[in-house]
């Protein structure tokens, strides 16, 4: 064991010597490994960061939460032209499911209404994202109220002219003034501010609550109606803990089929989606992105492997005399083999570490330009980069190392003179 530690130490110094004495040649040879590791780990880090951001946005919802709407989270056999003809889920259907489906812990009906302008005195915020929901939304998705409160069931049912604002909207309109109790104009109506959400910060897709407002859905129903093609509606149901998911989904589907009067041979004109299904779809997509990135990056690593092999062949030629002397003094073939293999691995790992350093620098720079979205170089990806670079060095150094170990000591000494 000690002899291999000594070989590793010598190989490390030989690798450093190669870097020091042949800077340009070594740099060009290691460039392929550096680019390859940079490409692979950059792809893995970007996909991991994206996956964490998307799943983080879903973390406010329980994975068992069910979303009923005219669109599907995943792939479906129903053609798009037919799906476009499906009716929106309605408020009456929401009430029916709430009454008829057992084991529902919380539920809400939501409308995706167009962005709107909000005005307070002479200050106007334009392009504000409006979430029209029932009071049950507060029990389904996790969010914090910084000031005031959320609208209650009575205000929700009556469509009261009240509004809960995101931090950014409230700050733009009221600055240092307390917004609670103030009236703003939206949809040509006066709405009373009853709450302000906790500051959340912006995400990669600009989906932060800071730039949104929430109003009772029955308020927007009076304005837009239930049959407006520009309005997107959904029913959200959160089952109680311990409920069998498959059974719950089946009950929801059957109850809505019965309400719509669908015959047994007719397909559903709606989709019963589960948040877990969307998370699984994200896993599939990110997995495919990783595979594509690894294939593309593999070509860079192939070039890097040839570069390492080139360094090692040159190193064998330059040290032919030394190899002959070592073998004449009793050095075994495996000693020579290990020496050059270790050197190849060390050189490759150095190139890989440089690539990892560049990924870290790029991740820091990218995070500065993407708001609260953070590119993270995880320990797992660092380990992957190091192992992959070591494997590339091992594979690339095998042939040069074997050729060095098989040199005849007499011929090696004579050739090196």
**pLDDT for position 108:** 92
- pLDDT confidence band for 298 (50 / 70 / 90): confident
**pLDDT for position 109:** 94
Between 208 and 196, name the one with better pLDDT: 196
List residues bridging with 238 in a β-sheet.
Answer: 106
**DSSP secondary structure letters along 205-231:** TS--GGGEEEEEHHHHHHHH-S--TT-
**pLDDT for position 204:** 43
Cα separation, 16 vs 14, whole angstroms: 5
pLDDT tens digits, 23-45: 776 777 777 788 888 887 887 77
- pLDDT confidence band for 278 (50 / 70 / 90): low
CB atoms within 10 A of CB 84: 10
Q: Which position has the token pair 């059974």?
A: 247
Bridge-based pairing state of the strands 123-133 and 104-112: antiparallel
CB atoms within 10 A of CB 313: 15
Bridge-based pairing state of the strands 66-69 and 212-216: unpaired
pLDDT tens digits, 103-137: 888 899 998 888 899 999 888 888 888 999 999 88
pLDDT tens digits, 131-175: 999 998 888 877 788 899 999 999 999 999 999 999 999 999 988
| Structure tokens, 237 | 């149901």
Cα separation, 407 vs 252, whole angstroms: 76
CB 235 within 8 A of CB 67: yes
pLDDT tens digits, 47-85: 777 766 665 555 455 567 888 998 887 777 788 888 888
**pLDDT for position 205:** 42
Q: Which position has the token pair 């859905």?
A: 217
Cα separation, 151 vs 264, whole angstroms: 40
Cα separation, 394 vs 340, whole angstroms: 10
Q: Is the pLDDT of residue 324 over 70?
A: yes
Nearest CA to 345 out of 23, 10, 11 is that of 11
Q: What is the DSSP letter of 72?
A: -
**pLDDT for position 224:** 86
**pLDDT for position 370:** 60
CB atoms within 10 A of CB 175: 9
pTM, to two decimals: 0.61
Q: Which position has the token pair 């109003």?
A: 215
Nearby residues of 353 by Cβ (< 8 Å), 6 or more positions away: 386, 389
The phi-psi region of residue 330 (left if phi > 0; otherwise alpha if psi is between -120 and 50; otherwise beta) is left
- pLDDT confidence band for 7 (50 / 70 / 90): low
- pLDDT confidence band for 225 (50 / 70 / 90): confident
Nearby residues of 147 by Cβ (< 8 Å), 6 or more positions away: 178, 179, 180, 195, 196
Evaluate the CA torsion angle 33, 36, 42, 44 in order and state its sign.
Answer: negative
CB 179 within 8 A of CB 196: yes
Nearest CA to 312 out of 346, 343, 353 is that of 343
Cα separation, 256 vs 96, whole angstroms: 8
Reduced to 3 states, what is the DSSP secondary structure of residue 192?
strand
Alpha carbon 309 to chain centroid, angstroms: 36
**pLDDT for position 206:** 46
Task: Tell me the angle at which helices 409-416 and 320-328 cross, rounded to the nearest 10 degrees.
Answer: 140
**pLDDT for position 288:** 73
Strand positions, DSSP E, 256-369: 271-274
Nearby residues of 55 by Cβ (< 8 Å), 6 or more positions away: 279, 282
Cα separation, 340 vs 324, whole angstroms: 14
The number of residues in the chain equals 417
């Amino acid at each position: 064991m000690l002899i291999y530690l000594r070989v590793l130490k010598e190989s490390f110094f030989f690798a450093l010597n190669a870097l020091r004495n042949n800077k340009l040649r070594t740099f060009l040879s290691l460039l392929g490994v550096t680019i390859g590791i940079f490409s692979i780990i950059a792809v893995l880090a970007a996909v991991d960061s994206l996956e964490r951001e998307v799943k983080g946005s879903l973390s406010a919802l329980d994975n068992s939460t069910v979303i009923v709407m005219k669109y599907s989270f995943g792939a479906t056999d129903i053609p798009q032209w037919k799906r476009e003809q499906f009716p929106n889920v309605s408020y009456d259907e929401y009430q029916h499911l709430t009454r008829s489906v057992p084991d529902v812990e919380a539920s809400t009906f939501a409308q995706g209404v167009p962005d709107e302008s909000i005005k307070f005195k002479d200050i106007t915020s334009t392009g504000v994202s409006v979430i029209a929901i029932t009071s049950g939304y507060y029990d389904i998705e996790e969010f914090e109220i910084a000031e005031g409160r959320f609208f209650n069931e009575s205000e929700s049912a009556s469509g009261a002219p009240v509004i809960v604002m995101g931090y950014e909207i409230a700050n733009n309109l009221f600055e240092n003034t307390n917004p609670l109790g103030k009236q703003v104009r939206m949809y040509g109506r006066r709405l009373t501010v009853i709450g302000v959400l906790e500051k959340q910060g912006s995400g990669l897709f600009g989906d932060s609550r800071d730039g949104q407002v929430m109003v009772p859905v029955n308020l927007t129903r009076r304005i837009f109606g239930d049959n407006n093609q520009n309005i997107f509606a959904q029913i959200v149901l959160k089952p109680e803990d311990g409920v069998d998911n498959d059974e719950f989904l089946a009950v929801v589907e059957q109850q809505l089929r019965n309400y719509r009067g669908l015959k047994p041979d007719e397909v559903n004109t709606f989709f019963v989606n589960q948040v877990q299904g969307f998370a699984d779809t994200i896993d599939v997509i990110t997995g495919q992105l990783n595979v594509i990135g690894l294939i593309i990056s593999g070509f860079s690593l192939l070039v890097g492997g040839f570069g390492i092999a080139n360094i090692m062949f040159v190193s064998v030629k330059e040290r032919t005399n030394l190899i002959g002397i070592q073998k004449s003094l009793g050095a075994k073939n495996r000693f020579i083999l290990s020496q050059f293999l270790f050197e190849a691995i060390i050189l490759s790992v150095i190139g890989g570490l440089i690539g990892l350093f560049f990924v870290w620098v790029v991740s820091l720079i990218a995070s500065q330009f993407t708001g609260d979205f953070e590119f993270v170089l995880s320990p797992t990806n660092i380990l992957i980069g190091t192992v992959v670079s070591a494997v590339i060095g091992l594979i690339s150094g095998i042939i040069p190392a074997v050729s060095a170990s098989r040199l005849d000591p007499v011929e090696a000494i004579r050739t090196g003179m």
